[in-house]
A and B are shown apart, each in its own frame.
Chain A
Amino acid sequence: MWIYLTKRIVGLLPLLLVISFLSFMLVRMAPGSPFDKERAPASPDIERTLREKYHQDEPLWQQYLRYLGVARESDGQGGTRWVRGGLVQGDLGPSFKYRNHGVNDIVAQGLPVSMSLGLLAFLFAMGVGIPLGIYTALRRGQWGDHIGSFFSLLAFCIPGLVVGPLLIMGLALQWRLFPVALWSSPWHMVLPTVTLGLYFSGRIARLMREGMTEAMKEAYVVTARAKGLSESQVVFRHALRLAILPVVSYSGPLLADLLTGSFVVENLFLVPGIGVFLVNSALGRDYNMVVGLALVYAVLLVLLNLAVDLTYGFLDRRVKLS
């Protein structure tokens, strides 16, 4: 088990290297530069100084090595020394756009907020999706199933882009039940959570319904029934363990997706997470920010997938991690 964990985490390193290399090069291929401005600087020297300051005047390969923190630079006394910071030391570099912040600062400020929102939305999606899926599976073909399935289909079909403004119009502007935006109290978190989680609750309900329907046909369920267990014991102690596996494997990437923030929801409700930066840094050609956020996202995705695999072993004892 620990060997397995170590292997997976060590395997992360080459992946991060590839991702950092690709995003580093791709973002530089886009036309325009971080230093293009609506108002030209007072003299062309100023832009040149900025380029030097951020080492944009060096050849690309050297910039990349510097980003990794494995380049050597002149120490000003005729010798050379290792560059300070860099990815190897966990430093994602300065932001080209926000001149008083490093990428680390912005991730440190925004990621906990995005993660809170993501986790709340995840819990909401699970909390609504799993019971709804189980209910519709057990009432298959009856009215309850039709209504429940219609709801999950609806949730699944309407994007947050539509749900958010509708919730704001009804619950925040019309009835004033919740604040329209900002992120300063639990009360402020309700609408963004629902907006972000609703779509996934629909998906989870559908996965859960299929999983449960299949599980109920399994031989061990028949055995459990034959033992004389009550229906709820059959469903929750026996069938659920297997039925939930599709939801579990979906939840890893889903959680990574939710935790790294959503541009639409963060923008709509003014949630100070990193989702907004994920999009705007690319538009603003904030090179370090683009690469840094891609790496953060990759690490989260890999770790959460790992958590999913571990959860598999825990839920289905036929699975062994090796």
Chain B
Amino acid sequence: MHSVVSASTTAPVRQFLSRIWLALLLSLLAGCARPDPPADLVVINGTEPETLDPALCTGQPDGRVAAALFEGLTRVHPKTGESVPGIAERWEISPDGKTYLFYLRTNALWSNGEPITADDVVYSWRRVVDPANAADYAGQLYYVKNGLAINTRKITDLTQLGVSAVNPHLVRVELENPTAFFLDLCAFRTLCVVHRKTIEKYGDRWLMARPLPTSGCFTLEQWKVNDRVRLRKNPYHWDAANIRSEVVDLIHLESATTALNLFETGQADIIWDKTLIPMELMDVLKERPYVHTFKYLATYFMRFNVTRGPFKDPRVRKALALSINKSRIAGHIMKAGEEPAATLVPPGTANYQAPEGLSYNPNLARKLLAEAGFPEGKGFPSFHYLFNTAKQHEQVAVELQQMWKKELGISLELRNTEWKVYLADQSAVNFDLSRSAWVGDYNDPNTFLDMFMSNNGNNRTGWKSPEYDALLDRANRMTDLKERAELLRQAERLLVVDDVVIMPLFFYAGITFYRPDEISGIWANIIDEHALYPVGKTKKADLRP
């Protein structure tokens, strides 16, 4: 490449080089663009959202932004977590519980000042079940008449969905069955109201439109990938008077340590994503006044593969479940006040009282294992536990390994894999035992229990029980909440006591970080939903240098 002599080349070379440097310097300037003015409130929201489209988003961080931008017929009360009027100011429910009439507020406006009408609601819901949009959470509308049929292409006519505009301010909804939690679903992000014209104009990139017409308390001012989403108060919102912060930054990052550093130095006011709290420091942090822990609807459990080897026998599954000392796991490994779990549905779930689950009983466990043909664990094949690579999951796995070795004399192999491999293996039921967790979407036992219906994509155990399916089906047709609770209780007993398809380990504790003397308007609630509009700095915080 290099050979001998010529001085005449140097002039163009010099020119070329100076151009390269110029280009580099320009890119540098582009990168150091003028800093934005500071926000009134900075929240560490979680990892980078995959989408902010309320119909498509599945992750918690995504959903929190979507919920600030878009509103449904109802919305979540920030204190109690119950659903209260949103775009609809009131509603009527028919005696059979299957028809709802929602009266929209006449002062419900888009952020561009246009009125929000019944047609907008109809459009938004049809969009969710339209199979072409491939919304993962379309199931939230399967309770509405023909929702399932349309989403699975059995009906191609979208207008067959049981939602219609009676007049511009009246929405009529027909359900398949009386659904006790339907008003909660209306507040869920999937059912939020989106702006038809913008979506039809910009397609997949509609969230990049500026200004973006929104129906919620905030508008989207900026979305910088892996940095922040900047929201600004929506002055046209019907409840604008109660939106406390004018500009809110939601920071997206990956590292829990960085999140804590930002919080500690006052560059962030709130951390409300559990994955961004450094758990290894919880022993030290627990005592600090800004750490708030609370109970919410989330369970850590283990799935059995009921189609494999000795795990086909419910006695074996029960023996394994009986020999785990769950208080030890909840107390020693988890540090935020997690409670040992005997059932899948957490305590505090509305319309429900969970059955008594299995307790810690190693003697009974040994007896059951012997009955199943493995006295003192003799002849029990080695089996593996699938989990995704993370320190806490590994600690739990090691603990399980030791307990089973000690109590039952059987040996567990640990198989930790990266996230996508774990998910692929779990959904293909390619495991003996698998780490699992579930966070409730709405406050009702159904959000946990319907997961194990035979045809549910989240079942992932190989367990198909017509009895269980029938119990859930019957329960979800009932209008009497007490009778319904009893049927659901029977179903859960089947799941965790009789058939032991899963083994609940503990109920998660929710954690948020904020300084109570500086921030107000944020409360703990059982569905871990923190509406953004009532959150703001107190006067004292404004005085901070």
Contact = CB atoms under 8 A, between A and B. Distances in A.
A37 interface: yes
Contacts of A16: none
A98 B225 contact: yes
B226 A94 contact: no
Most chain A beta-carbon contacts within 10 A, residue among B35, B134, B457: B134
Interface string A74-111: 00000000000000000000100111110001100111
A318 B4 contact: yes
Interface in B248-262: 251, 253-255, 257-258, 261-262
B37 to A, nearest CB: 10
Contacts of B151: 42-43, 45-46
Contacts of A165: 257
A183 interface: yes
Nearest to A317: B7
Nearest to B49: A98
Contacts of A172: 261, 265
Given A43-B151, A276-B254, A284-B420, A185 B35 contact: yes
B421 A32 contact: yes
Interface stretch (A65-73, A115-123, A138-146, A198-206): A115-123
Contact of B265 (A44, A97, A179, A320): A179
A24 interface: no
B56 A99 contact: yes
Contacts of A32: 418, 420-421, 423-424
Nearest to A97: B50
B261 A180 contact: yes
B197 to A, nearest CB: 18
B328 interface: no
Interface residues of B, number: 75
Most chain A beta-carbon contacts within 10 A, residue among B7, B148, B423, B460: B423
B226 A277 contact: yes
A97 B59 CA distance: 12
A2 B58 CA distance: 53
A124 to B, nearest CB: 13
Interface string B300-344: 000000000000000000000000000000000000000000000
A110 B48 CA distance: 13
A269 B257 CA distance: 10
Interface stretch (B9-17, B236-244, B368-376): B9-17
Interface string A305-322: 001011111100111111
B188 to A, nearest CB: 13
A67 to B, nearest CB: 18
Interface string A161-198: 00001001000110010011111111001000000000
B131 interface: yes
B13 A313 contact: yes
B525 interface: no
B31 A40 contact: no
Nearest to B455: A43
Interface in B267-319: 267
Nearest to B5: A320
A39 B9 contact: no
A33 B424 contact: yes
Contact of B50 (A49, A99, A184, A311): A99
Contact of B419 (A99, A283, A310): A283
A110 B14 CA distance: 30
A115 B29 CA distance: 10
A308 B265 CA distance: 42
Contact of A98 (B3, B27, B50, B262): B50
B269 to A, nearest CB: 14
A37 B136 contact: yes
Contact of A283 (B134, B418, B424): B418
Interface of A: 1-2, 5, 30-33, 36-47, 49-50, 53, 94, 97-101, 105-106, 109-113, 115-117, 119-120, 165, 168, 172-173, 176, 179-186, 189, 266-270, 272-273, 276-277, 280, 283-285, 307, 309-314, 317-322
10 contacts: A39-B58, A41-B138, A42-B138, A43-B139, A46-B134, A99-B53, A116-B30, A120-B28, A270-B262, A319-B3
The 3 A-B pairs at the shortest CB distance, nearest first, are namely: A40-B457, A116-B31, A42-B139
